[in-house]
């Protein structure tokens, strides 16, 4: 008989890894936000600010979900949950008009899990509440391993409000969802472009670029047009316009690298700017044309990433960090 010696699994308290929530855990989570997003079913979380004031309270992380542009608030605790932080979480959600509310803690107590479940079951379909335990383990003398464990999450089948029509119930919304579901699946499984898993009943989808404030996206635009783009939207309008103008001055080189004409749209009345390509098409067309549009979107998104991903990072460093 073969004898196998197994190591002992040891649970490691969070405060042994991060001694201080604000100075240690929050910065780490902000830098590794994609790990949390993956644990929440592939949410594309992008950090906007950390330790930002909401009145007299201070929110740990303000973020957005890139694919839907929803505001996200994240409250952290390196110990077990308490009533104080639950109250603060709701305050932050109200203050920032958040639609995704996330509570991360070493231990989600039963009463607080129940409270988050209650919020999911008795609030608008637009709101999503997540309670997440940060479980850290070691086996023998191994490096610690972190696992985010969902304790409470939205139940889309049980959440309902009378007299509110969900966009998912509309025929057009269903068409968009089917289109983007297939697009996401191919981008994720074939090209490793995104971790996103769920198509939304909306006419557009955005993807993280790896550079804060900049996204790649595709959409059904006005005038029966389909658009693929790089979208420049840092918190600073001045920086966005400087980055845009820098790219515009390189128009010939960028078009040569991209392989076709690029449309430069400064969007002077908005904070953001975009660089895009267009083709004809709308969501109501025949199945084969939609397949062609989907293939076109994938091709252009991959090309935008290839051409712009490193350039975006350099421009951000020059215009914001520098």
What distances in angstroms separate CA 13 from CA 4, 33, 168, one per listed residue? 28, 20, 42
Please tell me whether the overall predicted TM-score, pTM, comes out greater than 0.75 for this model: no
Whether residues 190 and 270 share a domain: the answer is: yes
What distances in angstroms separate CA 211 from CA 74, 230, 234, 316, one per listed residue? 20, 11, 10, 8
Whether residues 107 and 231 share a domain: the answer is: no
Whether residues 31 and 95 share a domain: the answer is: yes
Instruction: Report pLDDT for 322.
Output: 53
**At which of 152, 184, 216 does a domain end?**
152
Whether residues 177 and 119 share a domain: the answer is: no
Domain count, the chain: 2
Do the domain assignments include residue 256?
Answer: yes
**At which of 112, 128, 152 does a domain end?**
152
Instruction: Report pLDDT for 222.
Output: 80
pLDDT tens per residue across span 101-135: 999 999 999 999 999 989 988 888 789 999 999 98
Taking 80 as the threshold, does the pLDDT of residue 230 lie above it? Answer: yes
Whether residues 213 and 308 share a domain: the answer is: yes
Mean pLDDT of all residues in the chain?
A: 87
What share of the chain in percent tops pLDDT 70?
94
Whether residues 225 and 309 share a domain: the answer is: yes
Whether residues 50 and 175 share a domain: the answer is: no
Do the domain assignments include residue 286?
Answer: yes
Instruction: Report pLDDT for 200.
Output: 79
pLDDT tens per residue across span 173-199: 788 889 999 999 999 999 999 988 888
Do the domain assignments include residue 60?
Answer: yes
Do the domain assignments include residue 161?
Answer: no
**At which of 97, 127, 152 does a domain end?**
152
Whether residues 119 and 203 share a domain: the answer is: no
pLDDT tens per residue across span 26-69: 999 999 998 898 888 778 888 999 999 998 889 999 999 887 88
Which of 9-23, 164-178, 228-242 is the most confident on average? 228-242
- For residue 143, the domain's CATH number is 3.40.1350.10
Q: SS3 string of the chain?
A: CCCCCCCCEEECCHHHHCCCHHHHHHHHHHHCHHHHHHHCCCCCEEEEEEEEEECCEEEEEEEEECCCCEEEEEEEEEEECCHHHHHHHHHHHHHCCCCEEEEEEEECCHHHHHHHHHHHHHCCCCCEEEEEEEEEEEECCCCCEEEEEEEECCCCCCCCCCCCCCHHHCHHHHHHHHHHHHHHHHHHHCCCCCCCCCCCCCCEEEEECCCCCEEEEEEEECCCEEEEEEEECCCCHHHHHHHHHHHHCCHHHHHHHHCCCCEEECCCCCCCEEEEEEEECCCCCCHHHHHHHHHHHHHHHHHHHHHHHHHHHHHHHHHHHC
Whether residues 74 and 102 share a domain: the answer is: yes
Do the domain assignments include residue 232?
Answer: yes
Whether residues 49 and 111 share a domain: the answer is: yes
Q: Which residue has the tokens 């595709």?
A: 218
Do the domain assignments include residue 142?
Answer: yes
Taking 90 as the threshold, does the pLDDT of residue 299 lie above it? Answer: yes
Domain of 233 in residue numbering reads as 167-321
- For residue 260, the domain's CATH number is 3.30.1460
Q: Which residues pair with 133 in a beta bridge?
A: 105, 149
Average of per-residue pLDDT across 12-29: 89
Instruction: Report pLDDT for 182.
Output: 94
Q: Which residue has the tokens 């490691």?
A: 12
Q: Which residue has the tokens 């008009």?
A: 97
Taking 70 as the threshold, does the pLDDT of residue 221 lie above it? Answer: yes
Do the domain assignments include residue 160?
Answer: no
Whether residues 310 and 198 share a domain: the answer is: yes
Whether residues 197 and 66 share a domain: the answer is: no
Average of per-residue pLDDT across 16-35: 90
Do the domain assignments include residue 202?
Answer: yes
Residue 192 burial (CB count, 10 A): 8
């Amino acid at each position: 008989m073969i004898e196998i010696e197994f190591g002992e699994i040891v649970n490691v308290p969070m405060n042994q890894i991060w001694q201080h929530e604000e100075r240690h855990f929050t910065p780490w989570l902000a830098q590794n936000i994609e790990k949390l997003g993956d644990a929440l079913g592939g949410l594309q979380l992008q950090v906007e600010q950390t330790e930002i004031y909401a009145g007299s309270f201070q929110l740990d992380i303000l973020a957005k979900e890139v694919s839907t542009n929803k505001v996200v608030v994240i409250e952290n605790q390196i110990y077990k949950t308490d009533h104080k932080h639950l109250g603060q979480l709701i305050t932050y959600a109200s203050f920032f008009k958040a639609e995704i509310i996330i509570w991360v803690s070493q231990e989600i107590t039963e009463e607080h899990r129940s409270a988050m479940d209650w919020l999911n079951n008795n609030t608008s379909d637009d709101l999503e509440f997540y309670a997440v335990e940060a479980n850290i383990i070691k086996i023998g003398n191994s490096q610690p391993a972190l696992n985010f464990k969902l304790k409470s999450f939205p139940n889309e089948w049980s959440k309902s409000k009378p007299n509110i029509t969900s966009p998912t119930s509309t025929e057009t919304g269903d068409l968009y969802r089917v289109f983007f579901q297939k697009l996401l699946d191919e981008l994720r499984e074939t090209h490793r472009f995104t971790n996103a898993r769920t198509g939304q009943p909306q006419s557009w989808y955005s993807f993280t670029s790896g550079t804060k404030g900049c996204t790649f996206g595709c959409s059904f635009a006005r005038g029966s047009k389909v658009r693929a783009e790089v979208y420049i939207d840092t918190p600073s309008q001045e920086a966005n316009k400087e980055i845009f103008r820098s790219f515009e001055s390189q128009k010939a080189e960028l078009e040569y690298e991209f392989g076709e004409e690029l449309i430069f749209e400064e969007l002077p009345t908005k904070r953001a700017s975009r660089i895009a390509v267009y083709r004809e098409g709308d969501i109501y067309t025949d199945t084969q044309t939609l397949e062609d549009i989907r293939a076109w979107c994938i091709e252009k998104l991959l090309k935008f990433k290839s051409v712009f991903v490193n350039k975006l990072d350099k421009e951000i460093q020059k215009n914001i960090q520098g």
